[in-house]
Structures are given as C-alpha cells and as structure tokens.
C-alpha cells in the first residue's frame, strides 16, 4: 500500500533539488515545504550578476506556490532579477544545538528549504496592487485597511519581484543526540539545547495620539509566543486556503 505521503502534492525532483546527503531527511511535499517557508519572515535570495554570485537577505511571503519579495526600484538586485533571471531562495530555522559524546557527532536540529525558479518583475497593475497590500497584511492581518494609503511616489519607488516555485526541497533534522552505540557507555555529558525566537512585550510608539489603542488583530503577536507560530497564524488569516 502506498504511504499517505505519496498522495500529497509535491514539487518535482531533479538533480538540482534532490537531497543527496542524508536523503532520509529530505521532503518535497507542499505541506512540509510551505510550513517551513511560512514560519519565517526573512529569506536569502541567491543570484548571479556578471558572473559574480550574490546572496541577499530580504523579507518575503508566499501565495500558493509563488514567492514575493520587494525593495527599492533602484536596487541592483531587483533590477537584475526583473530581467527574468534564475534565482534560488532559501529559508532555515535552527531548532536546537546538539552536544554529543564525540566531536564529529555534535550537530543541530534544523528545518531548511531551498526553492528554485525564474524571477520576474511584477508589472501587472492588479498584481502589484495586491502585493502592496499583501506585504503588510500577510504578516499583520487586515492592517492595511487602517493605514494611510500609499502615495504614488512610494509605489513608484518600490519594485516587487515574484517567483513561481518550479522546484523545492526541505531538509529536516529532529532527533537530538545521536551517538554511536558504544559511546553511550562513556562517562561524557551530552545534551540538546532548544533554540527558539520568542516575542517580547509590545512597546507602543511614544507619540501615539490619545485614544489610539492596539488593534485586536495584532493579538497573534502576544508576549511569550513563538514567532513562527504567530507568523503561521497570521498567514492563515490572510490565506485561509493555504
């Protein structure tokens, strides 16, 4: 009988995205890949300009199987990607530090995604208008409706890049200490140290006008919550169908 995993929508595998080292940690299904992407605000985009590789950190968001990021219209990175260049976008989460009984068995638990596709400049007025809203509302649900409208100059000065995910793979380690069997008999301390990004208490702007209070829609960002949980909750408010 085929496993449940075989019925899930997955990204195609190729020599480019197939996990070769520790292939048992590799995943290609949409659910795993998207969950890791949606747990982050920041990615790294790799590209080449005149034969020189670059890797730029930037904020991004996902809509279905499409990724978006934005920046200054004068950005060299965006001007290059607007030409329809091939790019690689990655996201990684460090979940724990792993201290084993042998130096070579020290490790980390992590979740990482690598995506491939062809970047393009968003020029369609409807798609760009949607992106202007999504770059805020994806992270802070319904916030755009309460903001000052973006002016013509702000929109003109900002470029949006999109990329349909053509290939993607996730790699996940979640096993803690994994020593050689004989090493467990050694009197050596070992442990797993969890790593988390936790939200602090909100700090209201000191120049708020009287009577302006924090909207309930920001409750997903409450003190003590994991950032990735808040980001995923915010995503499904904006995109309930995933």
Token digits of residue 172 = 């996940």
Picking from 207, 240, 208, 234, the residue whose alpha carbon sits closest to that of residue 222 is 234
Contact call for residues 70 and 159 (beta carbons, < 8 A): yes
- Give the DSSP H/E element, type plus range, for residue 207: none
Token digits of residue 26 = 């590799």
Contact call for residues 127 and 134 (beta carbons, < 8 A): no
pLDDT at 213: 96
Token digits of residue 126 = 């409807």
pLDDT at 22: 84
pLDDT at 4: 41
Contact call for residues 54 and 196 (beta carbons, < 8 A): no
CB atoms within 10 A of CB 168: 27
Ranges under pLDDT 50 in the chain? 1-6
Distance between CA atoms of 210 and 95, rounded to whole angstroms? 42
pLDDT at 118: 97
pTM of the model: 0.91
pLDDT at 21: 84
Distance between CA atoms of 38 and 164, rounded to whole angstroms? 16
pLDDT at 40: 97
Distance between CA atoms of 140 and 236, rounded to whole angstroms? 11
Using only C-alpha atoms, the chain has a radius of gyration, in whole angstroms, of: 21
Q: Which residues pair with 47 in a beta bridge?
A: 54
pLDDT at 7: 55
Distance between CA atoms of 84 and 78, rounded to whole angstroms? 10
4-197: which CATH number, 1.10.600.10, 3.40.50.10330, 2.60.40.1180, 2.30.110.10?
Answer: 2.30.110.10
Contact call for residues 235 and 68 (beta carbons, < 8 A): no
How far is CA 27 from its chain centroid? 16
Phi, psi of 44 (to 5 degrees): -125, 130
pLDDT at 3: 41
Token digits of residue 64 = 């279905």
Q: DSSP secondary-structure letter at 188?
A: -
Token digits of residue 231 = 């980001």
pLDDT at 169: 96
Task: Give the number of residues written for the chain.
Answer: 242
């Amino acid at each position: 009988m085929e496993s449940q995993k075989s019925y899930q929508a997955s990204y195609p595998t190729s020599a480019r995205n197939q996990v070769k080292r520790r292939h048992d940690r590799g995943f290609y299904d949409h659910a795993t890949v998207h969950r890791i992407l949606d747990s982050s605000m920041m990615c790294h985009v790799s590209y080449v300009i005149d034969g020189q590789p670059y890797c730029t950190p930037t904020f991004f968001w996902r809509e279905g199987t499409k990724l978006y990021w934005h920046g200054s219209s004068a950005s060299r990175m965006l001007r290059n990607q607007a030409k329809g260049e091939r790019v690689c976008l990655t996201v990684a989460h460090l979940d724990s530090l792993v201290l084993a009984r042998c130096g070579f068995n020290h490790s980390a638990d992590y979740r990482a995604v690598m995506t491939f596709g062809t970047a393009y400049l968003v020029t369609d007025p409807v798609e760009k208008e949607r992106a202007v809203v999504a770059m805020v509302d994806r992270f802070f649900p319904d916030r755009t409706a309460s903001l000052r409208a973006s002016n013509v100059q702000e929109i003109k000065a900002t470029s949006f890049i999109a990329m349909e995910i053509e290939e993607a793979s996730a790699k996940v380690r979640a096993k803690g200490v994994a020593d050689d069997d004989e090493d467990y008999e050694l009197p050596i301390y070992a442990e797993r140290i969890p790593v988390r990004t936790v939200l602090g208490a909100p700090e209201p702007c000191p120049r708020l006008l009287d009577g302006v209070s924090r909207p309930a829609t920001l409750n997903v960002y409450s003190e003590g919550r994991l950032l990735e949980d808040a980001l995923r909750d915010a995503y499904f408010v904006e995109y309930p169908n995933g």
